[in-house]
């Protein structure tokens, strides 16, 4: 399921309804709206799409629970984005302040404002393999150009490709700590800075960071885990009817992915419109002071270190209100996302027997009175 977006069909391949797909048409990924269950994971991803400043999602759960499928399905469902043609960072042409040095260097016509050539591209989804080096992630000196042309040039890395999209790290808890530090710093600042081999480069690197892992293989260090905006926990579904439905849908998709995607296209388009409307509404959503005070009170009650807890709660609750078509955040919004935003920020007490989720839910009942 992890490689659906990389598969390509040819004109010789014919779908089950007898219709041959377009030449070299990529097989559509599994539709996001067709994923059974995992409401917590899907909500976390949608909130980060509406408001990327939330800081990404850490997903911990059992193997085979649709973690990577959900990320790729969501990205594939999003509408194409406008980018400057030929830019290695896919700069947004309508945001002059965020342009890279290469795009800023494009000369303007005499007496006219700068006109950039624009193309539409799919939202990038970049996988970061466990064995990736820092050079591969951040970029480094372009050895080929250095040898053939005798010039110092920068070879962009995975962070450049992920700009304005998703950077997905499977088994993030097995990634080397220094790489996790780099990724989280870049995700927070939106800029990748490379200083090596005589090359000094700054380029935009704004992406939604999604990490997944199996809790049986260990957790991230608390100070790293805290840098993720939301933390979703997913488990194997135990409801027999839902498990049967998962198998049926997967078999149907495997038999004819084009027909399956078409079957869910109306639901997909409905969610696309909902996301677009939420993104437009987000700047106008009001966070009332009484709700903000309750957010701060909840973080104090749970003894959350630092202030990322309040910031994430405020951003996620605002995104939730926008997603549901409202212009004001309510206490109920905060209640719904409190566990997602705070479960990985609690102080670890080896003598504590109560589950983190239960601790937060109890504090929510005491502080966030409807």
Whole-Å CA distances, 261 to 7, 73, 267:
15, 11, 10
- Residue 306: how many CB atoms within 10 A of its CB? 11
Spatial separation of the C-alpha atoms in residues 134 and 142, rounded to whole Å: 15
Best CA proximity match to 1, nearest among 170, 114, 150, 124: 170
Helices (H) and strands (E) in the chain, counts: 15, 11
Q: Which residues of 217-231 are buried (b: 16+ CB within 10 A; e: fewer)?
A: eeebeeebbbbbbbb
Catalytic-role residue among 72, 308, 315, 335: 308
Q: Which residues make beta-bridge pairs with 209?
A: 167
Phi, then psi, of 140 in degrees rounded to 5: -160, -170
**57-61 and 207-213 beta bridge pairing:** parallel
- Residue 269: how many CB atoms within 10 A of its CB? 12
To the query of whether residue 308 is one of the catalytic residues in this protein, the response is yes
Spatial separation of the C-alpha atoms in residues 287 and 327, rounded to whole Å: 9
Phi, then psi, of 78 in degrees rounded to 5: -70, 150
Query: Looking at the annotation, which residues are catalytic?
Result: 308
């Amino acid at each position: 399921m992890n490689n659906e977006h990389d598969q390509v069909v040819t004109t010789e391949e014919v779908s089950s309804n007898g219709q041959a797909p377009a030449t070299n048409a990529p097989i559509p990924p599994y539709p996001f709206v067709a994923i059974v269950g995992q409401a917590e994971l899907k909500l976390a991803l949608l909130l980060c799409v509406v408001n990327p400043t939330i800081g990404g999602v850490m997903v911990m759960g059992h193997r085979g629970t649709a973690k990577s499928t959900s990320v790729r399905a969501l990205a594939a469902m999003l509408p194409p984005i406008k980018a400057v043609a030929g830019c290695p960072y896919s700069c947004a042409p309508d945001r002059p302040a965020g342009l890279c040095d290469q795009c800023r260097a494009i000369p303007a016509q005499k007496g006219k404002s700068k006109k950039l050539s624009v193309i539409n591209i799919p939202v990038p989804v970049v996988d970061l393999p466990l064995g990736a080096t820092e050079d591969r992630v951040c970029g480094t000196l372009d050895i080929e150009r250095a040898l053939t042309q005798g010039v110092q040039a920068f070879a962009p890395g995975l962070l450049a490709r992920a700009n304005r999209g998703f950077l997905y790290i499977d088994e993030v808890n097995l990634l080397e700590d220094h790489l996790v530090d780099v990724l989280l710093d870049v995700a927070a600042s939106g800029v990748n800075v490379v200083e090596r081999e005589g090359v000094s480069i700054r380029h935009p690197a704004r992406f939604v960071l999604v990490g997944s892992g199996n809790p049986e293989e260990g957790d991230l260090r608390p100070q790293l885990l805290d840098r993720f905006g939301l933390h979703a926990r997913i488990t194997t579904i135990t409801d027999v009817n839902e498990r049967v439905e998962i198998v049926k849908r997967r078999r149907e998709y495997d038999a004819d992915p084009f027909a399956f995607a078409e079957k869910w296209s109306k639901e997909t388009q409905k969610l696309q419109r909902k996301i677009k409307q939420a993104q437009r509404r987000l700047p106008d959503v009001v966070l009332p002071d009484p709700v903000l005070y309750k957010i701060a009170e909840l973080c104090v009650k749970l003894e959350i270190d630092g202030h990322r807890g309040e910031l994430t709660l405020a951003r996620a609750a605002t995104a939730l209100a926008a997603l549901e078509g409202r212009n004001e955040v309510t206490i109920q919004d905060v209640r719904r996302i409190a566990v997602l935003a705070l479960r990985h920020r609690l102080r670890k007490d080896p003598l504590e027997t109560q589950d983190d989720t239960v601790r937060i839910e109890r504090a929510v009942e005491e502080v966030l009175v409807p």
